[in-house]
Amino acid sequence: MFLILVRTIRTMSYYALVPAAGSGARMGGELPKQYLPLLGKPVLHHTLSALCAVPDLEAVFVVLSPEDEQWSSYDWSGFGTRLIPLRCGGNTRAESVTNGLKAVQDRVQAEDWILVHDAARACLTVSHVKKLIADVGQNEVGGILAVPVADTLKRAAGERIDVTVPREGLWQAQTPQMFRHGLLLQALEMCPSVTDEASAVEFMGLHPQLVAGDASNLKITYPLDLQLAGWILENRE
């Protein structure tokens, strides 16, 4: 009689995490930019709509400030049970992401993929996310969406040009940024002052993959960006 042992290999799962606890001070208004109206809906609605339309994502976690009073004033029921708010946002993006990663440890495994996406990148498409997952899914480190720098770059000294910076090999980081849960949490705890997740992973001596995105995946930072985002969404086929 032979005893046959069968080892079950767990398939890696994919989750999105959206830090949305910021105040959006550079927009110059009292309303946080993730709640500014964009084509009749808050900016955050468009962002979450794109992520919730990606079939590969098991859940979309949105990290809110504990004092957020805006979230409950909108109807999010159309996104279903995959959209999960977490009221654990911090004072910085890195702190919000770290708190979010800790909050989901009971349902996300260390080897699962986390796609961190800016709340203010409302023009994200399903194809952007699918391309990132397809290109980075077999990478040991992870990777990010980014675009090669096209403009001539100047380093300033006050209000004057100090030097022209060669643009060869330079990329502009976007999101989502995709890393395994355990690695990303470790990286952010080691380097909590970073402005994006890839920087924390780089601090560990690792080299995330660059996946070419496009300029339509812009981040709404200034008032003009809001108008441009509206034009992109209205004219996208």
pLDDT at 6: 45
pLDDT digits (tens, 9 = 90+) for 136-170: 998 999 999 999 999 999 999 999 999 999 999 99
Q: How far apart are CA 148 and CA 165, in angstroms?
A: 14
Superfamily of domain 14-235: Spore Coat Polysaccharide Biosynthesis Protein SpsA; Chain A (3.90.550.10)
pLDDT at 2: 47
Domain boundaries, the chain: 14-235
pLDDT at 1: 46
Q: How far apart are CA 48 and CA 65, in angstroms?
A: 17
Burial class (CB in 10 A: 0-12, 13-18, 19+), 138: exposed
pLDDT at 214: 97
pLDDT at 8: 43
DSSP 171-190: EEEEEEEEEEHHHHHHHHHH
pLDDT at 28: 53
pTM of the model as a whole: 0.92
Which residues of the chain carry a pLDDT beneath 50?
Answer: 1-2, 5-9
Q: How far apart are CA 38 and CA 24, in angstroms?
A: 15
Spatial CB neighbours of 8, under 8 Å, sequence gap ≥ 6: none
pLDDT at 10: 57
- The dihedral through the CA atoms of 132, 134, 137, 138 has a sign that is negative
